[in-house]
Amino acid sequence: MASSRQLMAEPTRVAAPASAGRHPGDAAGRAWLRRVVVALLLVTLLLPLLPLAVSSVGQGYFFPQVVPETIGLRALRLILAPGAETWPALIDTVVLAGTVTLVALVIALPAGRALGLYRFRGRHTVEFLLLAPVLVPPIAVAIGLHGALLRVGLTGSMAGVVLVHLVPVLPYVVLVLAGTFANLDPDYEAQARSLGAGPVAVFRTVTLPAIAPGLATAAFFGFLVSWGQYALTLVIGGGQVVTLPILLFASASGGDTAVTSALAIFTAAPALLLLAVNAWAVTGRAVPIGGVR
């Protein structure tokens, strides 16, 4: 019998569960191995934060010392004070990354659909051009774009920074969505139309549930890439748009190690939180969308 079609092609699973039933020992060993791999991943992700944490509470902490002489919360108090410039910077960074992600998704949805679903002449060229900004150093892009944005009066504004952030963000978002759309069977959308669903209803009832995990991943990538931008924000923002990375770099060149470390943790924390949420969402909820099996 011909196998049933699926709304989304099922991703291939890495672990083969076929033999698990026959060799219970193998299954247990594999589970153990998986735990080790996950632990190693967590360690490599989190270990670099440890020295940061130590130095953020250090006072009079200099090179040959392994641990600081005295421990104090001066740096944390400084950056978390109600009037500290970290708070407006945090808001700016969130608003900026959020706006950039939204704009990128709006552009990337049709682009990713075209790249994922259709075969057309020049598709590979388009893919390469999309990736090009990732291959070029951001500072080169920033300086090149600065002249252009200066002419249209967008330097030193949030709008200008949003525009320039799209340059590194769009490639990730478009390519993730292209991969998602490549697994979508467009006949399901045709079926919905045939049953009386207009374009909006088709997107809401068929397309969106099907691409939701990919959309979440794309948004996550877009948000993080924008979150971590420094050179582009600095050059185009011209000091008017102050994000957390701008504060961090300014502090790093200032020489107060404790404050810089505390700021680094403050900058990384939301990203790590988002990573955890996304990992849970993608692995936990993707299953029911995988279609009929």
Where do contacts with other proteins occur on this chain (CB under 8 A)? 1-2, 4-7, 117-119, 185-188, 190-198, 201, 205-206, 209, 288-293
Determine the distance from the C-alpha atom of residue 263 to the mean position of all C-alpha atoms in its chain, rounded to a whole number: 20
Distance (Å, whole) CA 57 – CA 70? 8
Q: Which lies closer to other proteins via its Cβ, residue 184 or residue 232?
A: 184
Provide, rounded to whole angstroms, the least separation between the CB of residue 194 and other proteins. 5
Strand partners, 59: 70
How far apart are CB 253 and other proteins at their closest, in Å?
Answer: 52
- In the bound state with other proteins, the residue whose beta carbon lies nearer, of 228 and 290, is 290
Find the Cα–Cα–Cα–Cα dihedral 78, 79, 84, 88, rounded to 10°. Answer: 180
Burial class (CB in 10 A: 0-12, 13-18, 19+), 262: buried
Residue (63 or 120) nearer to other proteins, CB:
120
Q: How far is the CB of 195 from other proteins (least distance, A)?
A: 4
Q: Which of these, 226, 230, 225, lies nearest to 251 by C-alpha position?
A: 230
Beta carbon of residue 237, minimum distance to other proteins (angstroms, whole number):
43
Q: At closest approach, how far in Å is the CB of 131 from other proteins?
A: 23
Q: Cβ closer to other proteins: 83 or 288? A: 288
Q: Which is nearer to other proteins, 29 or 199 (CB)?
A: 199
| Helix, strand, or coil (residue 71) | strand
Separate counts of helices (H) and strands (E) for the chain: 13, 2
Q: What is the C-alpha to C-alpha distance for residues 157 and 162, in angstroms, rounded to an integer? A: 9
